[in-house]
Amino acid sequence: MTTRTNGRSCRAPGSGRSTTGIPTGSSGSTCIRRTCKRRISEYFDNVTVVSTQSASGLDFMIGVYFYYTVQGLLVSKMYETAKDIALNLVYLVEKYGFVLNGARSYYTNRSQPPLLSSMILDIYMATGDMVFVKRAFPSLLKEHSFWMSGVHNVAIMDNHGRLHNLSRYQAMWNKPRPESATIDEELASKLTSTAAKENFYHQVASTAESGWDFSSRWMRNSSDMTTLTTSYIIPVDLNTFILKMEQDITFFAKLIGESTISERFSEASKARHNAIESVLWNSDMEQWLDYWLPIDGNCQGVYQWKSNSQNRIIFASNFVPLWLNAQHSGLERLVDEAKSVKVMNSLKASGLVQPAGIATSLSNTGQQWDFPNGWAPLQHLIVEGLLRSGSEEARKFAEDIATRWVRTNYDAYKATGAMHEKYDVEACGKSGGGGEYKPQTGFGWSNGVILSFLEEFGWPQDKEMCCSS
């Protein structure tokens, strides 16, 4: 049966079967002094890569988007294309020591959320290609070293006297971003000192490194961009990704016969898991919370953990560690079933679950990584996390979220003829807004996540898939 809403057909495509409370402080200055040289080439040159890639959107060649694009390629059995994308990122690590924020020479001063190991794992699980794993393995070790380096590592002493090491975003840049120099300079114009402006530029670049550019999550004052303090925050999701990297390296090392490396990374993953639970877990909220470091301009060798340094504002990132439950055999569960149930119930009560998916935050600030926008990666991470928790209730909740997301993507596509980078989850079928650039269409991660959801759940035959008028 075909129904119509706003003049558009609601018939399913094809047969219906898928084949596929923040502490404050003075702005201070960053603990790291850098000499930043501006070269003309940094503003115009692309970074040469080795293989043809699928683009995320016309204006984007940013590696983090490709993890979710690869999800769609694997569903579509485009294995060689998926490998080409991964090998391009491997090449960047070989050349620069980390995956660049994008394939531009002016991005060599900042990275991005580290999802390369997860990409390699997913491709291996789909293809069983050991040669591919062996080719990528040294780069995974190199990327891990980058995130463990002194500029990224933070030591926290908990109240039991145990020392924990976690990671933060820390771009190696203190000038306007070449791709957005006019915007950055205009924002910085209200700051009076050179040091304050350089610190602001550093925080902007570090926020871009996070992928959440921009959000009230990183600001001491959500209405003032100059209060960005990203490099003083220990993010939940970054440390989740690095822990997943350590799990993946453990698995790969064992697979290729590197037992010493496997044992070392097994211990590293256990240590980071303990750190996440000790520093970031909040038992009252039953969520993991970003941790704010003192903003005093001083470098502390070890920070003492304080409960009021956890950011108790709700963001979708608070639930990302659900994704940690092992998807490869031989590794222990990192979020047990009892805790998964608590976190799931906390998510249900959080206010983030909206008619068209999961909102990024509850604060409508005009920033694109805030309410009412929802983004494909966050839907995917949370849905996958719920699926991996193992309970039937969690699976039903995951399917409900996925259905909301598929519905809004489908209806918006029928209305506009395009897939969008973000959606307004408060209103089904509406693309998102906000931010410092024109909203993009295309769009690699939106396409990949939709295909992943359809592969997992199929087309929702028994549900209305048109938004109500």
CB atoms near residue 15 (< 10 Å)? 9
The answer to whether 127 touches 79, Cβ cutoff 8 Å, is yes
Q: Decide if 374 is inside a domain.
A: yes
How far apart (Å, rounded) are the C-alpha atoms in residues 112 and 106? 14
How far apart (Å, rounded) are the C-alpha atoms in residues 195 and 420? 38
Phi, psi of 359 (to 5 degrees): -75, 150
CA atoms within 13 A on the CB side of 27: 20
The answer to whether 448 touches 20, Cβ cutoff 8 Å, is no
Q: What is the structure's pLDDT at 327?
A: 65
Give the largest Cα separation in the chain, rounded: 66
Q: What is the structure's pLDDT at 297?
A: 63
H or E element in which residue 157 lies:
strand 153-157
Q: Decide if 142 is inside a domain.
A: no
Q: Decide if 359 is inside a domain.
A: yes
* 449 Cβ neighbours under 8 A, 6+ residues apart: 68, 71, 72, 376, 377, 379, 380, 405
Q: How far is CA 139 from CA 47, 87, 136, 249, 326, in A?
A: 18, 10, 6, 11, 22
Kindly report the CATH number assigned to the domain that includes residue 407: 1.50.10.10
Q: What is the structure's pLDDT at 276?
A: 98
Active site residues per annotation: 213, 421
* 228 Cβ neighbours under 8 A, 6+ residues apart: 200, 203, 204, 206, 207, 214, 218, 219
Task: Name the domain count of the chain.
Answer: 1
Q: Decide if 97 is inside a domain.
A: no
Q: Decide if 76 is inside a domain.
A: no
Q: Decide if 467 is inside a domain.
A: yes
Q: What is the structure's pLDDT at 469?
A: 43
435: left (phi over 0), alpha (psi -120 to 50) or beta: left
- The pTM score is 0.89
Q: Decide if 305 is inside a domain.
A: no
Q: Decide if 235 is inside a domain.
A: no
Q: What is the pLDDT along the chain (469 residues), one digit of tens a residue?
A: 333 344 444 544 443 333 333 333 333 333 433 333 333 233 345 665 666 555 443 344 556 679 999 999 999 999 999 999 999 999 999 999 999 998 888 999 999 999 999 999 999 999 999 999 999 999 999 999 999 998 999 999 999 999 999 999 999 999 999 999 999 999 999 999 999 999 999 999 999 999 999 999 999 999 999 999 999 999 999 999 999 999 999 999 999 999 999 999 999 999 999 999 999 999 999 999 999 999 876 667 899 999 999 999 999 999 999 999 866 655 667 788 899 999 999 999 999 999 999 999 999 999 999 999 999 999 999 999 999 988 999 999 999 999 999 999 999 999 999 999 999 999 999 999 987 788 889 889 999 999 999 999 999 877 777 776 4
Structural domain for 328, as ranges: 1-20+314-469
* 308 Cβ neighbours under 8 A, 6+ residues apart: 21, 23
Q: What is the structure's pLDDT at 413?
A: 96
